[in-house]
Amino acid sequence: MIQIDTSRSDNIKNPAKEVYEDSAGIVSLLPHPTSAASIALLIAGNSDAGTEAAARIFPLRTGVPIPDWVVVGPKMAYRGAGGIIGAG
Protein backbone atom coordinates (compact mmCIF):
# COMPACT_ATOMS: atom_id res chain seq x y z
CA MET A 1 0.00 0.00 0.00
CA ILE A 2 1.29 3.46 -0.90
CA GLN A 3 0.99 6.17 1.74
CA ILE A 4 1.38 9.89 1.21
CA ASP A 5 1.99 11.75 4.47
CA THR A 6 0.16 15.05 4.03
CA SER A 7 1.67 16.50 7.20
CA ARG A 8 5.10 16.45 5.50
CA SER A 9 5.52 17.77 1.98
CA ASP A 10 8.59 15.63 1.27
CA ASN A 11 7.42 12.14 2.29
CA ILE A 12 6.10 9.35 0.04
CA LYS A 13 6.11 5.79 1.41
CA ASN A 14 6.05 2.56 -0.54
CA PRO A 15 5.95 -0.84 1.19
CA ALA A 16 9.74 -1.21 1.15
CA LYS A 17 10.96 2.28 2.02
CA GLU A 18 10.16 5.93 2.61
CA VAL A 19 11.14 8.39 -0.09
CA TYR A 20 12.41 11.77 1.11
CA GLU A 21 14.06 12.83 -2.14
CA ASP A 22 13.23 16.18 -3.65
CA SER A 23 11.25 15.90 -6.87
CA ALA A 24 9.66 12.52 -6.06
CA GLY A 25 6.28 11.71 -7.55
CA ILE A 26 3.68 8.97 -7.72
CA VAL A 27 1.20 7.59 -10.25
CA SER A 28 -1.39 5.19 -8.88
CA LEU A 29 -4.80 3.72 -9.62
CA LEU A 30 -7.25 3.90 -6.71
CA PRO A 31 -10.85 2.87 -6.09
CA HIS A 32 -13.12 5.79 -6.93
CA PRO A 33 -14.52 7.29 -3.70
CA THR A 34 -18.12 7.52 -4.92
CA SER A 35 -18.50 4.59 -7.31
CA ALA A 36 -17.45 1.03 -6.48
CA ALA A 37 -17.38 0.13 -10.17
CA SER A 38 -14.93 2.90 -11.11
CA ILE A 39 -11.28 3.71 -10.53
CA ALA A 40 -9.46 7.01 -10.11
CA LEU A 41 -5.99 8.03 -11.22
CA LEU A 42 -3.65 9.80 -8.79
CA ILE A 43 -0.72 11.79 -10.17
CA ALA A 44 1.10 13.67 -7.41
CA GLY A 45 4.51 14.83 -6.31
CA ASN A 46 6.28 16.50 -3.41
CA SER A 47 7.27 19.40 -5.68
CA ASP A 48 6.40 20.74 -9.12
CA ALA A 49 9.28 18.73 -10.60
CA GLY A 50 8.06 15.57 -8.85
CA THR A 51 4.54 16.01 -10.21
CA GLU A 52 5.95 16.59 -13.70
CA ALA A 53 8.12 13.44 -13.47
CA ALA A 54 5.08 11.41 -12.38
CA ALA A 55 2.94 12.83 -15.20
CA ARG A 56 5.59 11.89 -17.78
CA ILE A 57 5.36 8.19 -16.86
CA PHE A 58 1.60 8.14 -17.56
CA PRO A 59 0.99 6.53 -20.99
CA LEU A 60 -0.60 8.75 -23.61
CA ARG A 61 -2.02 5.92 -25.71
CA THR A 62 -3.89 2.73 -24.98
CA GLY A 63 -2.23 -0.64 -24.82
CA VAL A 64 0.87 0.59 -22.98
CA PRO A 65 1.22 -1.51 -19.83
CA ILE A 66 2.31 0.14 -16.60
CA PRO A 67 2.10 -1.15 -12.99
CA ASP A 68 -0.76 -0.23 -10.66
CA TRP A 69 1.53 2.25 -8.89
CA VAL A 70 4.90 3.83 -9.67
CA VAL A 71 7.07 6.04 -7.44
CA VAL A 72 9.57 8.11 -9.43
CA GLY A 73 12.49 10.26 -8.37
CA PRO A 74 14.55 13.12 -9.75
CA LYS A 75 16.77 10.74 -11.75
CA MET A 76 13.89 10.23 -14.22
CA ALA A 77 15.11 13.33 -16.08
CA TYR A 78 18.36 11.70 -17.18
CA ARG A 79 17.95 7.96 -16.48
CA GLY A 80 14.45 7.35 -17.82
CA ALA A 81 13.12 4.10 -16.34
CA GLY A 82 16.26 3.98 -14.15
CA GLY A 83 14.72 6.81 -12.13
CA ILE A 84 11.86 4.60 -10.91
CA ILE A 85 12.14 4.15 -7.14
CA GLY A 86 9.43 1.53 -6.78
CA ALA A 87 6.54 -0.06 -8.67
CA GLY A 88 3.96 -2.74 -8.16
pLDDT per residue as tens digits for the range 17-72: 666 677 888 888 888 878 878 888 889 888 888 889 888 888 778 787 778 888 88
**Backbone angles phi and psi of 79, in degrees to 5:** -115, -5
Three-state DSSP class for residue 82: helix
Domain residue ranges in the chain? 3-87
pTM attached to this predicted model: 0.71
Q: Are 24 and 45 in contact (CB under 8 A)?
A: yes
pLDDT exceeds cutoff 70 at 4: no
